[in-house]
A and B are shown apart, each in its own frame.
Chain A
Amino acid sequence: MNNILKISYRNLKRNHRRTLLTASLITLGVVFVLVYTALSGSFKNYMVGQITDSSMGHIQIHKKGFIASVENLPLDKNLNAKSIEYLEQFLNDSKYIESYSYRIKFGAAFSNFVSTTNIRLNAIDPTKEFATLPALKDRLVEFQDLKKGQIIVPELIAKGMNVKKDDPIVLVANNKKGSVNGINLKVAGLVERISGPGGRDGYIHLDDAKKVLRIKGVEVSEIVIRLKDNKMLKEAMVELNPILNKLNKKDKPAYEIHTWQNLSPFYNIIKMLDIMNLAIQIVLISIVLISILNVMIMSVYERIKEIGTIAAMGTPPKTIVKLFLTEGLLLGILGAILGGVISLAIVEILNMIQITYSFGKQSNLILEPVLAFKDVIVVGAIVIFISLIASISPAIKASRLDPVEALRSN
């Protein structure tokens, strides 16, 4: 095998310009795929992190029918004390769940004593909410703590209503029976908006919500769950699946469980990014396939007499196939290694430069491309495998050449 490698290597060296050109083309393709993967991965990770760590959590549990009418923020589809007790058994026993938090979601009128606007609110237990959504605090401006009697106001409303930290405001809301109630609150800070559902909601303390909505006892709209790792989503959903077996009085499932992927429209963008990634990989495969096929066919036609000579001497067809396959393989390996190294260097440079970008209303987001070693290996393996595939046809053609005809050629 060493000798086949040696001869193949020297054959590639013989046409070093062509070899370099082909390897460069493959390298370029590999760099394109890997850098794109790193960049799109950075964007994807940031957005997924924003959605799951500062707004939606990984999984949410609601009373059946809540999500269908979520735009109306229904108060008659809340989970009661009995339901919560039932659900907590599953949540506390789960090996995938890190923490969970309760929310009452409702709409109210927000007044600064001069003018009034509508506001969507999440009533939370701050300790549990911040443990479940660790990045939520990053979205809060001029904020220290959320206590009873305070409100975190969405930045846009604060700007429109001209309110700032420590300003008094009034919330007026209807409870589920239709009666109106109000509560005086003080602004504890502002919250930056993010894309997706719940990205423009304000926050108040759970006890204040109960007071204004006149809720007696325990009642929540949703349970937001944080997993130990987003990658455990599938396993966690399987584990929580028995919850769906619980039936209500109408013999229908009493609860509904959704992942952030079901709830966030951004998941479709992520899927699009993955499809684009796949498309770029197909382009890379085509580049490698055509380059190697082209160079190997040329190589066979240029060396017909040489192939005839080695065949005449008694080189078995199998060995001739190996010689040409090894040449294609070496080209692929060269392109894959160069591409991998250059991509790692580019990603490193991009991280040093710290390029910023905007997404929706968010700006100055830093691009932090990460190139996983696994991605480099997978792309490299694809390139090498395709190089081998592309070399098969020219190699077989070489091995099937008639020695007499081959020796006659010039």
Chain B
Amino acid sequence: MIDVKNIKKVYKVGELDLTVIDDLSIIINKGEFVSFVGPSGSGKSTVLNMLGCLDTPTSGTININSQDTTKLDKTKLANFRGEHIGFIFQSFNLIPVLTVYENIEYPLIMIQNLPEDERKQRVENLLKEVGMFEQKDKTPDKISGGQMQRVAIARALVTNPKIVFADEPTANLDSKTAHMIIELMKKIQKEHNTTFIFATHDEKIVANVDRLITLVDGDIIEDKRVNDE
């Protein structure tokens, strides 16, 4: 569970203090498929970065699975992300010198340091799950955008994270591929009970999430449950 209390984010722009998020509180439960929406500059990505432990709030607390992440230093935050959080990026951000298999394996070696047998089992299962097993030896420049995002999803999930953050994951994909990716994430959410938190403008994602949080100028103006089954 993510429990955000009264977070504030202030950026210093020259002599000025620019408040981007002011006194935002929210609770996101385990297994939710939730999206932050809002116009550009509304603070979606800033909130996502703070919840994803990439950035720290100027004040307030963020408790993720009972750990106040605002109290962690840079190295501990990195370790926390490696253990609990997965990321999916708009531009996929695969490591170009590694193959599909190695990209997915990367967090298990460099972050979790798992033995080879376990790594192989996890990577191959996910490769099959995202339908990329046949392409496992290709480098990112040899596969399509949709395939790259499948690999990125597998990489985000390989560490068995409790939460996956996805900032505009379908923005660089065509409509058909975007649908497939959303379906894939939805399926994984259901099977693994993973929390997915998006920041997006994409109507296709909006139409598929369980909860929609609308931000305008750093304030939550609407928080509603949708698609309740």
Contact = CB atoms under 8 A, between A and B. Distances in A.
State yes or no: do A and B come from one complex. yes
Interface of A: 3-4, 7, 10-11, 13-14, 305-306, 308-319, 403-404, 407
Given A315-B78, A316-B79, A310 B54 contact: no
B163 to A, nearest CB: 13
Interface residues of B, number: 29
A14 B107 contact: no
A306 B95 contact: yes
22 contacts: A3-B109, A10-B97, A10-B98, A11-B97, A13-B97, A14-B97, A306-B96, A309-B87, A310-B106, A310-B110, A312-B81, A312-B87, A313-B81, A313-B86, A313-B107, A314-B159, A315-B111, A316-B79, A316-B111, A404-B49, A407-B54, A407-B89
A310 B81 CA distance: 11
A314 B82 CA distance: 4
Contacts of A13: 97
Interface in B37-65: 49, 52, 54-55
B219 interface: no
Contacts of B81: 312-314
A194 B101 CA distance: 72
Nearest to B46: A404
B78 A404 contact: no
B3 interface: no
Contact of A407 (B93, B98, B109): B93
Nearest to A318: B75
Given A10-B97, A404-B54, A404-B55, A317 B107 contact: no
Nearest to A406: B54
A403 B52 CA distance: 11
A309 B97 CA distance: 14
A48 B68 CA distance: 74
Contact of A309 (B78, B89, B159): B89
Contacts of A315: 78, 82, 110-111
Contact of B96 (A14, A308, A318, A403): A14
Contacts of B87: 309, 312-313
Contact of A312 (B54, B97, B98, B159): B54
B30 interface: no
Interface in B62-115: 74-75, 78-83, 85-87, 89, 91, 93, 95-98, 106-107, 109-111
Given A10-B98, A403-B54, A306 B83 contact: no
Nearest to A408: B45
A315 B109 CA distance: 10
Contacts of B79: 314, 316
A319 B113 CA distance: 12
B199 to A, nearest CB: 13
A7 B96 CA distance: 10
Contacts of A407: 54, 89, 93
Given A312-B54, A313-B111, A314-B111, 18 more contacts: A3-B109, A3-B110, A7-B97, A10-B97, A14-B96, A14-B97, A309-B89, A310-B95, A310-B110, A314-B81, A314-B82, A315-B110, A315-B111, A316-B79, A318-B75, A404-B49, A404-B55, A407-B89
B55 A314 contact: no
A376 to B, nearest CB: 32
Contacts of A316: 75, 78-79, 82, 111
Nearest to B97: A10
A316 B78 CA distance: 6
B78 A317 contact: yes
Given A3-B109, A404-B49, A404-B54, A309 B74 contact: no
A317 B89 CA distance: 21
B229 to A, nearest CB: 32
B106 A313 contact: yes
B106 A317 contact: no
A113 B98 CA distance: 93
A314 B78 contact: yes
Nearest to A2: B109
Nearest to B105: A3
B93 A306 contact: yes
Contacts of B78: 311, 314-317
A7 B75 contact: no
B75 A317 contact: yes
Contacts of A403: 54
A314 B75 contact: no
Nearest to A11: B97
